[in-house]
Amino acid sequence: MTCRRPTMAKLLAVLSDGKPKSSLEIANATGLEGDAIWSALNRCWHNNLILRTKIPLHVFSRNFKGRGGIRRNLRKYHLYTLKPENVFSLSVEGRLFVSYDKSNSLRKTSKAHIILGFLKSNADRAYFATEIAMQLREKGVRQCDIMSNARRWQRKGLVLVRGYRMDDRQIPFQEGYLLVYVDASKPRDDALKEAIEKTEHVLSKRETTNPVLQRTFRIRDSIIESTSARELVSFAYLVENIGCSKYEAEAAINRALQLYPDLKELRLFNAFRYFYHDSLGAQELEASIAMKKNYIRLTKGRSNRIGHNWEAVTEWFIDKFTTGARFWNQEHRTKIMDPRRITIHLTKSVGSRRQNAEVDRVWEVTPGIFSPSVTYVLSCKWGIVFKRDLDDFFNVLRWSKEFGVTTNNGREIRQGVVGVFAASAFNPKENVKQHDDLTITLASYATRMNVQLLKASDFNSKLYQKGCPKTASVQKICKIATNEKQVRELLERVWNEPKKSEQLIAAFVEKNKKVYEFEEFLEQNDSEKSSSLCEGVSAGQAGYG
């Protein structure tokens, strides 16, 4: 067949040597670029002037993209060769080359037409991109094919694409963009109006299309819900409930306060933000404020901070001196909670715990390849520990689904599980009386229950052996650090530079002055409240007398 097109003539001239070539090699030899080379190859193959590999080749490439780093991708391509006369298939270097045959086409309908056909046959409603991908999966259409082809039909006016409307752009919904067919047989205005109504019908069953307004409505709903329960709602709760960043929540809250004057804000201790609806009565508001202040004293006070810091100290020493320790991690509903603090399930209530209990840390150690793993469960307490604390910890372990087991002798701790109780000090005067009238110490009692005891003095001895002065104790580190992250940082620096321990501690004390001042403020406020209550009781007693 004579070729009259110059691009096709150039292509056939390059292939006249009989060596198979890729489109890239042909483009370099002919000087053709972009659509020209692909149009020429397509025409030559459809006119049975060239043969193409039946199965495409694959090559892995690494491309440097500057600040974007190295991009890796797997490229698929074909080889082409000149077609001899009356030859429709040819084997070259172990590869099968075939001529174009419409009846043997792998896919008679393109993905673009499959997607458009789906929308056209279901023109009575709009579909999210993820829904279309699920419906067309069996036809070879993937999620990544939907929007690239939908944009083509959008440019031709046959598909309406809708997402979240921002000021300067449109972003997809959680389920992807919303797509609907635009009927070309109807007047353009009427067709668009119908398409928009179909999208509105789908969106009416879900939240607003504007993410800022969506968060604003959810904030209002949360505040009204809490007010109905006669409670204040905190800023941290709203952030967690909405599921967005603090900055996004801040913008949405400010917007909600502007739009709805009946939403009120107050600050407790001039630091913690709380919100309520003005339908809350004066007495109920006063009672809610008192409850929240009491909660802040318990959770944000000095004792709570030191208690959490003590957990971090124990964890750091275990991680430092235990070879091959693998800590358990658990995702919690609130991001504030440490992922290494584990919630376990109880088969029987233990104290005030009904179905669940928390243990501070869980880690596994495998001594050798032929040795079974040992699971250690940690409980920490800042202060003096008594027998009742050990009994409570032991009961939690043996009645838990994870670490307990039912035997002929009753409920016991599972074999291979060891309880570890860490405390700043154990009551040295408390003795435990056994069934045989034998009195033993608290430490011996813990050993009989297979519970290991860790004391602050055990950790301090490690620091002193490293060369730290007596003033650099773990008790002091617990008291000056603001959180668990700071505890780990300070211990690491003290361990690496033991001679500078005092200077490091002094620097952290200076850094955390505001935290100590706030805790003092809470304690003074609490003591003033207690003294006023005592005065009220005394006055009442005097009046009664």
pLDDT tens-place string over residues 97-135: 998 876 555 445 788 899 999 999 999 989 999 999 999
Pair of tokens at residue 309: 């810091």
CB 410 within 8 A of CB 438: no
What is the residue extent of each domain of the chain? 6-104, 111-203, 211-300, 306-455
Strand order in the sheet with 451-455: 326-327, 361-365, 374-385, 417-426, 451-455
Model confidence band, residue 302 (pLDDT cutoffs 50, 70, 90): confident
CATH tag, 6-104? 1.10.10.10
Q: Is the pLDDT of residue 533 over 70?
A: no
CA 293 – CA 126 distance, rounded (Å): 50
> Which residues have C-beta within 8 Å of that of residue 246, sequence separation ≥ 6?
239
Range from 200-204, 326-330, 431-435, 499-503 carrying the lowest mean pLDDT: 431-435
CA 470 – CA 463 distance, rounded (Å): 9
Q: Dihedral sign for Cα 240, 243, 244, 249, please.
A: negative
Pair of tokens at residue 199: 């999208």
Task: Give the Cα-Cα-Cα angle 324, 325, 329 (nearest 5 degrees).
Answer: 135
pLDDT for res 103: 59
Q: State what percent of residues in the chain have pLDDT above 70.
A: 88
Range from 134-148, 344-358, 529-543 carrying the lowest mean pLDDT: 529-543
Question: pLDDT by residue (tens digit) across 415-459?
Answer: 889 988 888 777 777 777 776 667 888 878 888 888 888 888 889
pLDDT for res 540: 35
Return the bridge partners of 318, or none: none
Mean pLDDT, the chain, as a whole number? 82
| Of residues 471, 495, 497, 491, the one with CA closest to residue 316 | 491
Taking residue 295's Cβ as centre, other Cβ atoms within 10 Å add up to: 14
Q: Which long-range contacts (CB under 8 A, 24 or more apart) does 117-122 make?
A: 119/159, 119/179, 119/180, 119/181, 120/181, 122/181
* CA-to-CA separations, 251 to 32, 239, 276, 317, in angstroms, rounded: 54, 11, 18, 42
To which H or E segment does residue 202 belong?
helix 188-203
Q: State what percent of residues in the chain have pLDDT above 90.
A: 13
- Compute CA 518 distance to the chain's CA centroid, rounded to the nearest angstrom: 32
Domain 111-203 matches domain 306-455 at the CATH topology level: no
Model confidence band, residue 539 (pLDDT cutoffs 50, 70, 90): very low
Model confidence band, residue 207 (pLDDT cutoffs 50, 70, 90): low
pLDDT for res 275: 92
Mean pLDDT of all residues in 204-218:
70
Mean pLDDT of all residues in 349-357:
84
Q: Is the pLDDT of residue 498 over 80?
A: yes
Question: pLDDT by residue (tens digit) across 471-483?
Answer: 889 889 988 888 8
pLDDT for res 68: 61
Q: Is the pLDDT of residue 380 over 60?
A: yes
Task: Give the Cα-Cα-Cα angle 45, 51, 57 (nearest 5 degrees).
Answer: 105
* CA-to-CA separations, 63 to 27, 57, 67, 73, 74, in angstroms, rounded: 20, 19, 12, 8, 11
CATH top-level class for 111-203? mainly alpha
Question: pLDDT by residue (tens digit) across 160-202?
Answer: 998 876 656 777 877 889 999 999 888 988 889 899 888 888 8
For 410: left if phi > 0, alpha if psi spans -120 to 50, otherwise beta; the answer is left
Fold of 306-455: Trna Endonuclease; Chain: A, domain 1 (3.40.1350)
Model confidence band, residue 535 (pLDDT cutoffs 50, 70, 90): very low
**Would you give the DSSP letter of residue 173?**
B
CATH top-level class for 211-300? mainly alpha
Return the bridge partners of 439, or none: 433
Range from 148-152, 364-368, 433-437 carrying the lowest mean pLDDT: 433-437
Mean pLDDT of all residues in 126-154:
90
Question: pLDDT by residue (tens digit) across 254-289?
Answer: 888 888 888 999 888 777 889 999 888 888 888 888
| Of residues 341, 427, 330, the one with CA closest to residue 384 | 427
Q: Which residue has the tokens 């940082």?
A: 489
Pair of tokens at residue 45: 């193959």
Largest Cα–Cα separation, the chain: 125
Mean pLDDT of all residues in 311-318:
89
pLDDT for res 543: 33
Pair of tokens at residue 40: 């020429």
User: Whole-structure pTM over 0.75, yes or no?
Assistant: no
Return the bridge partners of 274, or none: 234, 266
Question: pLDDT by residue (tens digit) across 228-245?
Answer: 888 888 888 888 777 777
Q: Dihedral sign for Cα 526, 480, 473, 306, please.
A: positive
CA 267 – CA 234 distance, rounded (Å): 10
CA 405 – CA 414 distance, rounded (Å): 5
Mean pLDDT of all residues in 64-78:
74
